Amino acid sequence: MNFNIGIIGGGPAGYTAAFQARKKGLSVVLFEKDKIGGTCLNKGCIPTKAILHSAEIFEEMKCAADLGINVENISVDYAKVVEHKDKIVEKLRKSLELSLKNTGVVVVNTEASIEDGKIIANGETYICEKIITATGSKPRDFEGLRFDHKFILSSDDILELKTLPKSIAIIGSGAIGIEWARIFSAFGVEVSIIELAEHLLPLADVEVSKRVERIFKSKKIKMYINTSPSSVLRTPSPTIGEKDKCVITLKSGEVLEPECVLLAAGRTPFVSVPSCSLALGDVCGKIQLAHFAIKQAISEISEIEFDENLVPSVVYGCPEIAWVGKREQDLKEGTYQKSNMLISALGKSHCDNCTEGFIKILSQDGKIVGAHIVAKEASAMIQQITIAMQNNMTIDDLKKVCFAHPTYSEGIFESLFRF
């Protein structure tokens, strides 16, 4: 069988490349050995955010009386939380599958390999003018710290829990670690988070990291920073009927005994990419974000360029955390200007009972070079700044824009006048 383009992997990079190619009238065959949608839809972004939303509602309901709403005896049925998550994922996946079918993409649900410049699947040979490998990534474990899928869990495993543990230790404080710490804490689980770096969320601006640490402290999330496990052992319970525990000994000498462990210390590409194939998405080893994968695919197929230095990052929960561009620690002292504004200065934050956070903008030569936001709706605000940076707008240009009131976005406007 002959096609213009053969794509191995049906995640954001793969299905976006397929849609873009069909728009150009090219014939496309897409191979997916598991479920269409990849990690993002099935085991990452979407299911996690669905559970996180339930956690946020539950946490808000705890203080509903302060807002004049009386609710008694609220509780969590975590099995139903998971069921709700599964329904969302299934609905979106079916919609995506239907879109691929209606667009004319030939989808082959099986494992595929590349041999001598051809794709082999189910004993069939597919000859494609162009081959794209978009097989994504998988959770990473380490020697001495391997997933056993019962006590030492991956981000895949954690989504399949039907009951909440009483306590959990999370190793790694990237987006996955931070979001699950927020979820479990909101549901009343005793949470400990372990990070090798000097601060939580080490890829973020230091001021953002420090604010996250302050928020976690207020929520009684235990933090063990600048350390890592020297051993993780499973200890059988001496009492019949009680669950076994893990014993984590940290290099700092502290000992933790959580019910289970979430190892969230990064992801690694599924396969190495043959020289005859183009790599897109997580498998290419660059930025492991779904929107980066999507933009890569659009750039490759439709030749719409994008700036890889202007890829926004978002960590979800309340408040959201978002950033784009340069961090303050990356800039040389005396070469930049900084505007920093507390979210509590905005009337909308008090209306929403969400006053935690700040907007921080970094500039050089009258233009924004970085922005870092901790706030409700930070994911939307960072996009506004990204658009301005992408179009090389000056701060004076942005001052001419009318921002609606009352909004969080007007905080960007007010920040511009603080330079």
Which residue type occupies 234? R
Residue where a domain terminates, one of 302, 329, 354: 302
Residue tagged active-site, from 53, 84, 372, 405: 405
Map tokens 């597919």 to a residue: 126
- Write out pLDDT tens, residues 158-190: 999 999 999 999 999 999 999 999 999 999 999
One domain, residues 155 and 252: yes
Q: Which of 62-66, 112-116, 241-245 shows the lowest per-residue confidence on average (mean pLDDT)?
A: 241-245
In sequence order, the 6+-apart residues with CB closer than 8 A to the CB of 121 are 31, 108, 110, 111, 112, 113
Average pLDDT for 183-200: 97
Instruction: Flag whether 341 is in a domain.
Output: yes
On average, the pLDDT of the chain sits at 95
Map tokens 């900084």 to a residue: 338
Query: Residue 194 burial (CB < 10 Å; 0-12/13-18/19+)?
Result: buried
The separation between CA 387 and the C-alpha centre of its own chain, rounded to angstroms, equals 21
- Quick one: tokens of 30? 């897409």
343 contacts 356 by C-beta, under 8 angstroms: yes
From residue 311, how far is each of 177, 292, 322 by CA, in Å?
20, 7, 11
One domain, residues 27 and 132: yes
- Write out pLDDT tens, residues 223-249: 999 999 999 987 776 666 667 778 999
The range of the structural domain enclosing residue 170 comes to 141-263
pLDDT at position 285 is: 85
Instruction: Flag whether 6 is in a domain.
Output: yes
One domain, residues 184 and 100: no
Identify the CATH number of the domain in which residue 287 sits.
3.50.50.60
Instruction: Flag whether 308 is in a domain.
Output: no
Average pLDDT for 48-74: 93
pLDDT at position 235 is: 73
Map tokens 């991956």 to a residue: 154
Q: Is 405 a catalytic residue?
A: yes
Domain count, the chain: 3
Beta strands in 316-407 (DSSP E): 320-325, 337-342, 358-364, 367-375
One domain, residues 291 and 333: no
327 has pLDDT over 80: yes
Hey, is 367 helix, strand or coil?
strand
Query: Which of the 8 DSSP states describes residue 394?
Result: B
One domain, residues 165 and 271: no
**CA atoms of 187 and 261, how far apart (whole Å):** 17
